[in-house]
Amino acid sequence: MCGIAGWIDWERDLRHEEAVVRAMASTMACRGPDADGVYLSKSAAFGHRRLVVVDPAGGAQPMSRRFGERSYTLVYNGELYNTEDLRTQLKALGYTFQSYSDTEVLLVSYVAWGEACVDKLNGIFAFAIWDEARQRLFMARDRLGVKPLFYARRGSSFLFASELKGLLAHPLVDPVVDAEGLAEVFAIGPARTPGHGIFKNVFEVRAGHALMATRDGDRTWAYWRLTSREHTDNLDTTVATVRELLVDTVERQLVSDVPVCTFLSGGIDSSIVTAIAADAYRAAGREPLHTFAIEFEDMEKYFKANAFQKSIDAPYAIRVAEHVGTVHHRVVFSMREMTSHLLTPLAWRDVPGMCDIDVSMYLFCREIKRTHTVALTGEAADEVFGGYPWFHREESLRADTFPWSLRLRDRVAILSEELKSWIRPYEYVADRYREALNEVPALPGEDPHEARVREIGYLSITRFLPTLLDRKDRMSMGASLEARVPFCDHRLVEYVFNVPWAMKACDGEIKGLLRRAARGMLPDDVLYRKKSPYPGTPNPEYLEATRARCLEVLDDPASPLRPLVDVGAIQALAEASHQPGEHRPWFGQILGTPQLFHYLVEIDEWMRRYHVRLV
């Protein structure tokens, strides 16, 4: 993976602006520690940071190629999994290649097929191509939004970068946040409305979208979106198709010139990915696959099963590793290490994130990076196959809001009256929810329950999943580790989206379809294990650390957070947090009271560190 940045200006000469574009790219050095490069022309300046995964010599960027009288320059972050298929097609059209990198295949694909090239790509990507002759910039992002891409217009300048910090490094982009940005942080966060860049007049290229920037303006469009259609396959065919797609996508994603491993939690999703990968390694006569599992000290001592977390992962991860024959690594963190890094993820996120989950993910990726550069993970299976509690609980199915954030009233209760009147949190969330529902592709004649589950599935894929993909991208890239997500293969997502709920939950099992498709790959006790999310931090030291840190922030008269919250309400919450009670997360499945304190501390630090100005 890589970090990309660029500056287009149709009215000024950029050939002497190398320092600026290098500064933009250098903020993302962790995304590409192996090499850097710059391209300068009169109207375009690109910066690139490279993490070498395929073709070290031939994949250098920015990459420029001339075809006849036209020249094109590409900066690209991602990985194509159908590179050889595309290369074969392009050779048949008469194109030749100077390398075996997917970077060159992507550039030539644009030359051959123009904007339609994105329809042919299978992978995770965010890229920008400058057409010197036409003086226009084409950008696109992968269908599920695995790889990030932000942009901003400032007068005659068009700016883009993989991360917000890359844009903020440009002198034309100020860290200004208005009411809408604050509503995203306090009412939607740590999720984010697709297309929203938090900072004023900063935007995100949405998943499955492309953009063309010219002197006259910008045009964006969706080149891919989920569609609804009748599913005509019977259950046996559906199971076989899902299995075939899973095997194909995992095997495609093992291609690399550097060491590949898998995350292995012991849950069904990462276990399936691991089983397929380990089998492919054996079939190819390769050394055994390496797997990694995250653990916390004293997990057995403090863990208590609840409606969201049923059991500890570690024994199941070991069980799978032994069953499929991997070299397994247990990565164990102490609470002291966790609390010493409470604010570390902010440097990679650029906005407040997922608290201790971000911390542990970053530390986990950092440890893996000592020996590996690429890891396959299990994200997106719950969104695609309906594994989350909100697919099954009446409270969530009936809720007229995002089902992973049912406690908006509790969140609003800790805001200051001034902030509430400014951002109007209830109205803001309701508007964003209605916008999302209006996108859902209806299937005529579908019964009400099926239609509602379809809505929940669409919301989960387009509104909740991006939060997890942001986390995985930023934390893995913060450690210079490339994380691949096989369950985000668009072919699999498209197919399963239209499978009726009765099939998805066949055999009376949550994710029954996925479990059937994986029969024979895993031991039954793993295959039919109840869902357990990414491990949270049950140690009470975490609550004490975040609680104390939050109260310390609020005691500071200079705190930028203080005017935005109800200090008394938070102090009361801090006092009540000592009392035992039912675990009811305020976001997702595991962000509870300790994480709320952590989130508030992150907001304070974000406003200080990024010099946020409110308007």
Which sequence positions are flagged as catalytic?
2
* Dihedral-angle region of residue 581 (phi above 0 means left; psi in -120 to 50 means alpha; beta otherwise): beta
What is the DSSP secondary-structure string of 526-588? HHTPPP--S-----HHHHHHHHHHHHHHHT-TT-SSGGGB-HHHHHHHHHHTTS------SBT
Instruction: Give 97: exposed, middle or buried? Use CB within 10 Å, 0-12, 13-18, 19+.
Output: middle
Beta strands in 349-504 (DSSP E): 374-376, 482-484
Quick count: other Cβ atoms within 10 Å of Cβ 265? 25
Q: Which of 350, 309, 357 is nearest to 333 (CA)?
A: 357
* Dihedral-angle region of residue 128 (phi above 0 means left; psi in -120 to 50 means alpha; beta otherwise): beta
335, 541 Cβ separation under 8 angstroms = yes
In eight-state DSSP terms, residue 60 is -
Q: How big is the CA angle at 382 (ends 381 and 383), to the nearest 5 degrees?
A: 90
36, 4 Cβ separation under 8 angstroms = no
Instruction: Give 337: exposed, middle or buried? Use CB within 10 Å, 0-12, 13-18, 19+.
Output: middle
Residue 551 corresponds to which amino acid? L
In terms of DSSP bridges, do strands 290-296 and 327-333 run parallel, antiparallel, or are they unpaired?
parallel
Tokens (6 digits) for 472? 């995985």
d(C-alpha 213, C-alpha 221), whole Å: 12
265, 273 Cβ separation under 8 angstroms = no
Q: Which of 443, 384, 353 is nearest to 143 (CA)?
A: 384
Residues 6+ apart with CB under 8 A from 448: none
168, 118 Cβ separation under 8 angstroms = no
Tokens (6 digits) for 28? 């993302």
d(C-alpha 574, C-alpha 602), whole Å: 17
d(C-alpha 274, C-alpha 257), whole Å: 19
367, 261 Cβ separation under 8 angstroms = no
